[in-house]
Amino acid sequence: MAPNKQEITDYFRTLQDNICTALSAADGNDFVEDSWERPGGGGGRARVLNGHHIQKGGVNWSAVHGNLPPAAAQSLKIGTEETNFYATGVSIVLHPRNPHVPIIHMNVRYFELDGGRFWFGGGIDLTPHYVVPEQAAYFHQQLKDTCDRFDGAYYDRFKTWADDYFYIPHRQETRGVGGIFFDRLEPVTEGKSKRELFDFTAAVGETFVPTYLHLLGLNQDKPVTEDELRWQELRRGRYVEFNLVWDRGTKFGLTTNGRTESILMSLPPLAGWTYDYQPTPESREAFTLANLKKGVDWLAG
């Protein structure tokens, strides 16, 4: 039987619970919850962690509905005849305290219109402050393993999509080492049932915790210098630039009168910008910048 929006909504709510429980246990601190209601319909739970290893982390769940503003309809490239929407999902951004631990983002979501159309979207991407090829390869292998369970073409397709999406044109660099990104997965375009598309989206959500906790455990206790902390702020600055200038999810949330605090939860607690920064040749910073480009095959060996 095809999942209805209530089953999907309940699943995402439980996913938020499970992820918060695992992250709290790993960090040793609890999330603070802020429940909210959307004036136009629906609401959500914003959970924020200001912890020991995770300096600022947000795990948000929402289920919102109502009239679709014209600007949002235009961004979704849909006609004006479908004016009501329902959207639910989980969105996560973790900014670690230690610059050797990467930033991570995940989103899994479901969207439907009153005319009967619906689709799934989401993905996971990694933004290391310092690129470590072995860790990037581990991350991508976990995503490929998940994708391959459902469709052998998914990983390459969605990795390319992530490289294109998480790109900062004005810097001519990717936000990080990519991951997977997918949107508008519908039965008519994918040749799969609603249940299959939901199961895939759920599997992506469940890939998050074991993958990130492995990377956190590898790096959270490494010694840190003042220069590394300054570099971390510069990399966080790039993260801010992408999210405020290019991210479609941020724009959609703001144009649909979403909750500002939840939408901007993705921003780091501290960020920095240095005029015309140039890394020292052959440094780890230079290596990182050289690898922030599209099309890197992290699984090549």
Residue 260 has pLDDT above 90, yes or no: no
Q: For residue 49, is it within any domain?
A: yes
Q: For residue 297, is it within any domain?
A: no
Q: For residue 264, is it within any domain?
A: yes
Q: For residue 154, is it within any domain?
A: yes
- Averaged pLDDT, 132-143: 98
Residue 243 has pLDDT above 80, yes or no: yes
Give me the catalytic one of 95, 100, 105, 140: 105
Expressed as residue numbers, the domain containing 205 is 5-290
Place of tokens 């991350």: 139
Q: For residue 295, is it within any domain?
A: no
Q: Is 83 exposed, middle or buried (0-12, 13-18, 19+ CB in 10 A)?
A: middle
pLDDT digits (tens, 9 = 90+) for 151-171: 999 999 999 999 999 999 999
Number of domains in the chain: 1
- Rounded CA-CA distance 179/160 in Å is 9
Q: For residue 231, is it within any domain?
A: yes
Percent of the chain scoring above 90 in pLDDT: 83
pLDDT of residue 50: 96
pLDDT digits (tens, 9 = 90+) for 57-112: 999 999 999 887 776 666 676 765 667 899 999 999 999 999 999 999 999 999 99
Q: For residue 191, is it within any domain?
A: yes
- How would DSSP label each residue in 174-243? ESSSEEEEEEEE-HHHHS--HHHHHHHHHHHHHHHHHHHHHHHHHHTTS---HHHHHHHHHHHHHHHHHH
Q: Report the 10 Å Cβ neighbour count for 214.
A: 14
E strand or H helix at 65, and its extent? Answer: strand 54-67
52 is catalytic: no
Q: Is the pTM of this model over 0.85?
A: yes
User: Are the C-beta atoms of residues 42 and 12 closer than 8 Å to each other?
Assistant: no
CATH number of the domain bearing residue 261:
3.40.1500.10
Sign of the dihedral through C-alpha 82, 9, 57, 293: negative
Place of tokens 């999330």: 31
Q: For residue 300, is it within any domain?
A: no
Residue 31 has pLDDT above 90, yes or no: yes
